[in-house]
Structure 1
Amino acid sequence: MKNVLKSFFESFLRSRHMLHHFERWQTLLSAKPSSVGSAAMPPEIAKALAAASHTDAGEVLVRMNSSSQGLTEAHALALRKRLGSNEVRHEQPLPWWNHLWQCYRNPFNLLLTVLALVSYITEDTKATVVIGSMVLLSTVLRFLQESRSNKAADRLKAMVSNTSTVLRPTPGEKAGRAGDSGFDLAHAGTQRIEVPMRDLVPGDVIALSAGDMIPADARLLSAKDLFISQSALTGESMPVEKFAATAADHQAGVLERDNLLFMGTNVISGTATAVIVHTGARTFFGALAQRVSATDRGTTAFQAGINRVSWLLIRFMLVMAPLVLVINGVTKGNWWEAALFALSIAVGLTPEMLPMIVTATLAKGAVVMSRRKVIVKRLEAIHNFGAMDVLCTDKTGTLTQDRIVLERHTNAWGEDSDHVLQQAYLNSFHQTGLKNLLDKAVLSHAEVQLDTQLQTSWRKVDEVPFDFSRRRMSVVVAHGDDEHLLICKGALEEILSVCTSVERGAEVLALDTNVMTRIHRVASELNAQGLRVVAVASRTLHADARKPAYSVADESGLTLLGYVAFLDPPKESTVPALQALAAHGVAVKVLTGDNELVTRKVCGDVGIDAGRMVLGHEVERMNEAELRQVVEMRQVFAKLTPAHKERIVQALHANGHVVGFMGDGINDAPALRAADIGISVDGAVDVAKESADIILLEKSLMVLEQGVVEGRRTFANMLKYIKITASSNFGNVFSVLVASAFLPFLPMLPLHLLVQNLLYDVSQIAIPFDNVDEEFLKTPQRWNPADLGRFMVFFGPISSVFDILTYTVMWFVFAANSVEHQTLFQSGWFIEGLLSQTLIVHLIRTRRIPFLQSRAAWPLLAMGVAIAAIGIWLPMGPLAHYFKLQALPLTYFPWLVLMLVGYATLTQAVKGWYARRYGWQ
């Protein structure tokens, strides 16, 4: 069965994102990094990376035919044409012939093929043609649908592209030699451009900052407080600091080299430039991809659900088919005919259209969601989207407009201060790390309010980049040849931790208890107004303290200057979106790194009752059992670190929830990976988009709510096929058992069963396009195999009641009660069986009264009418003898109508009772 599921899903699971592949490879990388470097990587690749590591940076550039200004566009284009795209091989689509084989290769089709061969050997040409048609129909439909799905998925993925910042010589300027200007990004002959990651080539010089994905294997040229998360490769949770210096230890493993970067890892903090050494399949990641391409993928919740349902149907088939064989063999004495009939029953019980139905339904859902600005990176994520019952989301940009404006710039006493704005502007202008919306708001406001020559009168000396443990960043600037000025901005508590004094006009006061109380009161008043407060501090470094480079240790002895306060107003769509999500059974929990005052104000504005808010330091102290209780009771969590967010998501998942997490920053990446469904936006940092399963082209909870509804609609149509097929098949087999025990002939020939099954399968093709009742969309939906088994037992025998009535009518009313008249009997049951199967589609697809309160989509209605017409025409038309059927007297059809009406009435009655007692999924 694993092979069935593997072939079933492998065509569209190729789109799974890079980071999930790394998680599966943890077992391959359980050894020490040094052993991994030699064992997992081809020797020639490891040798080239090791050579780059212990070679001077300038010499590496020379060997790569590059320079500190990067490659020219023409040179990069020529290399791209020769070397191909920067993509790993396992992400390439299968050749059409291989895809066709994968569509055919499952036990369902193999069983049909065996039966076709047996029919051919026994010279039963008609059965051979019919069974062959079933195999061909199943394989070709799945091939065509999956091909369309893959193309649609590729088009959707192309809408969400990850880019890298690449250095290029400015137009008209010749690229310099490797070392002409060191590795200064501000060099006059260098420009920075954004290039899709797939277009990178060896020799490209890339600029990196916090939040960036490493797009290829590279050698560092320069680095400033650079910390890289390599957990996806090594399993080590702590970030690793990297340096540009030439490696001295030639014996260290490849992953232990401090000056090498690897595809798929990501920048936690700091800035750097690096030259790409290997791309695509020649990267460390690409080498691993070749090793694991033949291994099974990890089983997701969606696959596990399909697995359980499929095994339920197969176990049923393995029990019923032998039972039919024994009963018919004993009662009829013809074991060969009984064996063929039992195989036909096995075929009838086989859900051979399940792969095609699921693929078509998921693909249609993905396309519909794309029209609603929701891009699905993994098709199976649609199921989790519909099953989601808890959504964890950040505050900024989700509940709010993500349109930050600088409202106030004050000193520590709350008095307006242009000096604070000037210092904040210099800090934001000169930093080269992760520029967020706050920096952009400072720059926009200051350019209007301040002297435009401010930026040119100060030159940058160095910077200490932002990271999420310090929650601050600093730049060092100089005015001419005067002393250096270190300007630091960040979260208030983190800034105060490195301050010893506070400025008020021309005075500088010590930070005593009274002053600290006043500072906190002013900040709290600003927070209470819904303003986000960022503190600004500085320190003058005189000649004896001046350095060519600065570090975190220099962030000490600062003077607090004041605050810049920002406003991010709530979105108008937030309140109705939250109400819509609540109406659809999705609880929204706010997980933010912001302080509790701002968070409470914003939550109150959008109608979220923050209640007793849980703060990050409280989460830190809780054990797992305590946290699992708290996450159920509380809705808003503030002042969280990335690790806190991840723990909260894991606790909700451990409580049995299907958890979605929506985030767009590097601090959200751990929680995105931990969630059942990671949701990000097109404007997110690279690592967030790579971690997500679904990308929103518009950062709005209303768009998300529409995606949830479409996910449930998709799941509903998949579930319809399984419920309809399971109950119908159970009823047919039960009827066959009764007939086999009491009739002197077979109730239907194997050929009849196969034709009936073929026609029924064709009628199901339109299910992915069916309508779904509104009540089904209001609550989260999950796989429930136990409910499916109960559903089969209750609804399958209903059809058997009317099958047995058909037997009685054919036996007593139309005298089809001997072997000589078995064709008439079989023709009567053939029509009744096919029409009842077609009718059950409309009876079971809804909890309501079919055709009146709930009407199927026109493709399903049209397909049902067409199949019913064909089913009646076959015995009544000129081909009846070919299928060993015969025309029925016209008096048969009033009886047929009565039985179908009775079937519909009884089914509707049982449906109402069943729904009241067990619910209706």
Structure 2
Amino acid sequence: EGLTAEEAAKRLELYGRNELPEHVDPKWLIFLRQFWAPMPIMIWIAVIIEAGIQNFIDMGILLLIQFANGSISFYETTKAGDAVAALKSSLKPSATCKRDGKWQVIDGTLLVPGDTVLLGSGSAIPADCRVNHSEIDVDQAALTGESLPVTFYKGDSCKMGSTVVRGEVEATVEFTGAETFFGKTASLLQEHHEYSHLQKILMKIMMVLVGLSLTLCIINFAYLLAEGVDVQEALSFTIVILVASIPLAIEIVTTTTLAIGSKNLAKHGAIVAKLSAIEDLAGMSILCSDKTGTLTLNQMMLQDDTPIYCDGETQESVLVLAAMAAKWKEPPRDALDRLTLGSVNMSLLESYEQTDYLPFDPQTKRTEGTVRNKETGVEFKTSKGAPHIILALLPQSSSNIRDQVEKDVARLGECGIRSLAVARTISGTDTWEMAGLLTFLDPPRLDTKQTIEDARHHGVQVKMITGDHLLIARNTALQLDMGNKIFTAERLPMLDTETKTKPKNLSADYGDLCLVADGFAQVFPEHKYLIVECLREMGYTVGMTGDGVNDAPALKRADIGIAVAGATDAARAAADIVLTEEGLGTIIHGIILAREIFQRMSNFITYRISATLQLLLFFFIAIFAFHPKFFHMPVLMLMLITLLNDGTLITIAYDYAEASSTPNRWNLPVLFVASSVLAAVSCLSSLLLLHFLLDSWNPDGLLQSLGMAGVQYGQITTSIYLKVSVSDFLTLFSARTGQLFFWQVKPAPILMAGGLVALSISSLLSIFWPDSEPDGILSQGLQGQIGLFAFVWIYCVIFWFIQDFLKVA
């Protein structure tokens, strides 16, 4: 009768819902995290100082930038996660359960131990269940990686996550949720709360800039106090250096670049659940892949090799005999019927009728059909089944045939090819004769071999990790040209049985094995997990592709977990990237896209470090070099430089970029050297210009010798604002071309347009800036000094060429 609704409710309260525990951070917490990192903390410090000296306008500007930065980062971070959540919610599990004596379809998460469920062909097994009667064939590929279905009889326990492919039985739920077979490995799916490679790089860059900034700020503040400047004025000078050191848009631009990249990947059939996975994909050097359903189709297909043992028989005639041992006019009952009936020419069966049929039975382990030729009236029997079962039907006199069949089965088995024996009776007798062997294999996907070749071409080594038999794994590796170093799990360690922790010296003891192997066979989920972890410990960026529950722990642990199309819910939940189209070609396209995105981010970060160092060192040196004027700029002008230049630099996400032929790795020393060269030229040119402007009233000075009039101090402030704005943006065009000259790589039209907009606005602001004293600093527009405006522009372009030449040199 099943459980009553009342009893089921009690057990639901006792055992909990039938789902794996999944930790999801609330969105308010994700939002708050955007304001707790080195860069936001620097802005908070600046806000507090501005409030302390009662400069509320600048404080408001900084707060506006802080919340704009955090909001954009929050939006881009949660958007991709919501897309995957929507994909998961479209696959709501259900179960046919007997409650209060009636069969009803209920939410699968509401099942409890003791429930009676109906397991029918095509249905997913909703929990760990024990079969009550008869038998069913179950596809466990998602759990174990096995290609063929397994038969479960009365009393056997079938596991959640597998699928019924033949038969229908009632079963009793034994375990639900975390207590199921897969639930017990949930410890392998726990969040490790590790920073991504990109987060670590940005963190290091932030810490270097923050450390340098704080050091210079302290030196600057102490020097000003020693010179007799009052505390409030010294703080106003110091805050300029502090704000100048904050790379305000670095996270916005990198996040937006990744988000735009994720949209491009989505167009090609890949949903990105974690944006940082794109950067990891660019650096991926090893790709571990499940076999069944990932490298292969997870569909048994007939092979050309068909050993024949009767004169006149062909593969086609053997297929006809095999179909006669099935209900060929009805839907296939199991995987073997599906294989046979899907391959046979049905028109060849039209002249026959089936007079009797013996279905598959656990005792006989074969099927048998009695057929009659409607034209001749001749009647005979056919049978199909495992070779050793069919051989038992042959008479003792067929020893030669028996020996040949056994040799052929052994030969095929060495290649991992499975065999289905087909026999028939001689007309008018009950004597059986062997017709032939039908051979079948789960073939690779059509694009798999090319995908592996493309991966190697891009510097990514592909390793196969499967739960299937060693011989089958070796055959698949042979077809895909993946190498012959395929080992079994016997060589691999296991997790600690009690603590579920990895071995202490994992990479030291097993690193060489994991690195040299082309693949592993007959592995359990924790083996896949440990292989990935071992390679990660050795410093490799590791990707993992899979589709089954048995792949989920490794997908979670890998730097880039990729769930293929049709993957189980558990695999999708554990993955960083979810493919929505068949085949692995999307992964190669993703690698190319990711490396282009990496190049854009690298170009931008080089520019951003350069621009920050230029501003930081310029204002620091200016205080010492131009005593007693202590030149500094209003915070408002600094914010305008950042908002205009960095704001329009979001267009760099659409810039032209060339993917590298090898995995990308961050090289911070080289990055800082390149940035320092660019910054040094910009800083030096800014200091020289400031000197020329302050010296403009000197009859022997450069400006006077060029016939230009002396410059008022307010216009000096605006001129330096224009110079920093222009040279900052021109520096980007040097940074984006790497070791080439800026004119050798054409910028994307949208980046060019963004640059023109930013430079035009900065130019107009410098000309029409009203006479004012923001932060107590005199500022005047250059509308009466158009010659000075042109001089600053020409000066910037000349030093841009010098900067680019030194970069290449």
TM over 0.5: yes
- Mapping for residues 5-24 of structure 1, pairs under 5 Å: none
Gaps of 5+ in 1: 1-56, 67-82, 170-174, 181-189, 233-241, 246-257, 464-473, 481-485, 490-494, 539-558, 914-921
The whole-number CA distance in structure 2 between the counterparts of 1:413 and 1:350 is 81
* Residue range with higher mean Cα deviation, 807-816 or 401-410: 401-410
The whole-number CA distance in structure 2 between the counterparts of 1:488 and 1:331 is 98
Which residue of 2 is the match for residue 524 of structure 1?
A: 411
Report percent identity of matched pairs: 22
Choose which of 154, 160, 163 in structure 1 pairs with 2:82. 154
**Aligned pair in 2 of structure 1 residues 159, 461: CA closer, same or farther (>3 Å)?**
same
**Aligned pair in 2 of structure 1 residues 306, 828: CA closer, same or farther (>3 Å)?**
closer
Choose which of 889, 895, 898 in structure 1 pairs with 2:791. 895
Post-superposition Cα deviations, 1:233-257, rounded to whole Å, max 9, x if no partner, equal xxxxxxxxx9999xxxxxxxxxxxx
Give the SS at the match of 1:391. Answer: strand
- Mapping for residues 788-803 of structure 1, pairs under 5 Å: 788-803=671-686
Which residue of 1 is the match for residue 559 of structure 2?
A: 676
Counterpart AA for 2:339: A
Counterpart AA for 2:246: T
- Mapping for residues 859-874 of structure 1, pairs under 5 Å: 859-874=750-765
Give the SS at the match of 2:607. Answer: helix
Counterpart AA for 1:444: G
* Number of residues of Structure 1 aligned to a counterpart in Structure 2: 733
Shift of 1:370: 0.8
**Which structure has the larger Rg over C-alpha atoms?**
2
- Mapping for residues 183-582 of structure 1, pairs under 5 Å: 222=132, 297-331=193-227, 333-393=229-289, 404-407=300-303, 417=318, 421=322, 440-445=338-343, 448=346, 457-458=357-358, 502-503=391-392, 505-507=394-396, 519-521=406-408, 524=411, 532-534=417-419, 563-566=437-440, 573=447, 577-582=451-456
Choose which of 827, 830, 846 in structure 1 pairs with 2:737. 846
Which residue of 1 is the match for residue 378 of structure 2?
A: none
* Residue range with higher mean Cα deviation, 873-882 or 517-526: 517-526
**Aligned pair in 2 of structure 1 residues 272, 664: CA closer, same or farther (>3 Å)?**
farther
The whole-number CA distance in structure 2 between the counterparts of 1:343 and 1:814 is 30
**Aligned pair in 2 of structure 1 residues 733, 351: CA closer, same or farther (>3 Å)?**
closer
Post-superposition Cα deviations, 1:368-418, rounded to whole Å, max 9, x if no partner, equal 101001122332222221111222345666666776532469679697656
Give the SS at the match of 1:852. Answer: helix
Which residue of 2 is the match for residue 58 of structure 1?
A: 2
The whole-number CA distance in structure 2 between the counterparts of 1:645 and 1:280 is 22
Give the SS at the match of 2:786. Answer: coil
**Aligned pair in 2 of structure 1 residues 156, 621: CA closer, same or farther (>3 Å)?**
closer
For the Cα contact (< 8 Å) 2:290–2:546, is it kept in 1? Answer: yes
- Mapping for residues 807-826 of structure 1, pairs under 5 Å: 807-813=690-696, 821-826=712-717
For the Cα contact (< 8 Å) 1:401–1:569, is it kept in 2? Answer: yes
The whole-number CA distance in structure 2 between the counterparts of 1:661 and 1:327 is 56
Give the SS at the match of 1:363. Answer: helix
Which residue of 2 is the match for residue 134 of structure 1?
A: 65
Counterpart AA for 1:94: K
Give the SS at the match of 1:695. Answer: strand
For the Cα contact (< 8 Å) 1:834–1:868, is it kept in 2? Answer: yes
Which residue of 1 is the match for residue 427 of structure 2?
A: none
The whole-number CA distance in structure 2 between the counterparts of 1:439 and 1:663 is 28
Shift of 1:121: 5.7
**Aligned pair in 2 of structure 1 residues 456, 243: CA closer, same or farther (>3 Å)?**
closer
The whole-number CA distance in structure 2 between the counterparts of 1:196 and 1:795 is 62
Give the SS at the match of 2:780. Answer: coil
Choose which of 631, 634, 653 in structure 2 pairs with 1:747. 631
Counterpart AA for 2:101: A
Shift of 1:349: 1.4
Counterpart AA for 1:876: I
Counterpart AA for 1:127: D
The whole-number CA distance in structure 2 between the counterparts of 1:219 and 1:594 is 24
Which residue of 1 is the match for residue 655 of structure 2?
A: 771
Counterpart AA for 1:886: Q
Shift of 1:447: 9.3
Shift of 1:877: 0.8
The whole-number CA distance in structure 1 between the counterparts of 2:410 and 2:20 is 49
For the Cα contact (< 8 Å) 2:611–2:679, is it kept in 1? Answer: yes
For the Cα contact (< 8 Å) 2:319–2:343, is it kept in 1? Answer: no
Give the SS at the match of 1:58. Answer: coil
Counterpart AA for 2:218: P
Choose which of 813, 819, 834 in structure 1 pairs with 2:725. 834
RMSD between superposed Cα atoms in Å: 5.7
Matched, 1:178 2:178: no
**Aligned pair in 2 of structure 1 residues 503, 692: CA closer, same or farther (>3 Å)?**
farther
For the Cα contact (< 8 Å) 2:487–2:520, is it kept in 1? Answer: yes
Shift of 1:341: 2.2
Counterpart AA for 2:610: S
Shift of 1:701: 3.4
Post-superposition Cα deviations, 1:445-475, rounded to whole Å, max 9, x if no partner, equal 3694779998994467669xxxxxxxxxx96
| TM-score normalised by the chain length of structure 2 | 0.72
Counterpart AA for 1:763: G
* Residue range with higher mean Cα deviation, 737-746 or 295-304: 295-304
Which residue of 2 is the match for residue 4 of structure 1?
A: none
Post-superposition Cα deviations, 1:478-514, rounded to whole Å, max 9, x if no partner, equal 999xxxxx9976xxxxx9xxx6994474449889xx9
For the Cα contact (< 8 Å) 1:211–1:686, is it kept in 2? Answer: no
Shift of 1:802: 0.8
The whole-number CA distance in structure 2 between the counterparts of 1:160 and 1:537 is 44
For the Cα contact (< 8 Å) 1:213–1:687, is it kept in 2? Answer: no
Which residue of 2 is the match for residue 614 of structure 1?
A: 486
For the Cα contact (< 8 Å) 1:413–1:519, is it kept in 2? Answer: no
Choose which of 653, 662, 687 in structure 1 pairs with 2:536. 653
Shift of 1:845: 1.9
The whole-number CA distance in structure 2 between the counterparts of 1:899 and 1:820 is 16
- Mapping for residues 688-767 of structure 1, pairs under 5 Å: 688-743=571-626, 744-752=628-636, 754-760=638-644, 762-763=646-647, 765-767=649-651
Counterpart AA for 2:630: L
Shift of 1:706: 0.7
For the Cα contact (< 8 Å) 2:546–2:555, is it kept in 1? Answer: yes
**Aligned pair in 2 of structure 1 residues 222, 788: CA closer, same or farther (>3 Å)?**
farther
**Aligned pair in 2 of structure 1 residues 197, 508: CA closer, same or farther (>3 Å)?**
farther
Shift of 1:858: 3.5
Counterpart AA for 1:713: E
The whole-number CA distance in structure 2 between the counterparts of 1:567 and 1:333 is 84
For the Cα contact (< 8 Å) 2:365–2:389, is it kept in 1? Answer: no
The whole-number CA distance in structure 1 between the counterparts of 2:656 and 2:265 is 16
For the Cα contact (< 8 Å) 2:462–2:482, is it kept in 1? Answer: no
Counterpart AA for 2:226: V
Give the SS at the match of 1:375. Answer: strand
Choose which of 446, 459, 468 in structure 2 pairs with 1:585. 459
Give the SS at the match of 1:392. Answer: strand
Shift of 1:708: 1.0
The whole-number CA distance in structure 2 between the counterparts of 1:352 and 1:211 is 55
Give the SS at the match of 2:547. Answer: coil
For the Cα contact (< 8 Å) 1:532–1:566, is it kept in 2? Answer: yes
- Mapping for residues 34-45 of structure 1, pairs under 5 Å: none
Which residue of 2 is the match for residue 3 of structure 1?
A: none
Give the SS at the match of 1:59. Answer: coil
For the Cα contact (< 8 Å) 2:300–2:339, is it kept in 1? Answer: yes
**Aligned pair in 2 of structure 1 residues 582, 905: CA closer, same or farther (>3 Å)?**
farther
**Aligned pair in 2 of structure 1 residues 476, 431: CA closer, same or farther (>3 Å)?**
farther
Counterpart AA for 1:831: L
The whole-number CA distance in structure 2 between the counterparts of 1:403 and 1:89 is 32
Counterpart AA for 1:616: T
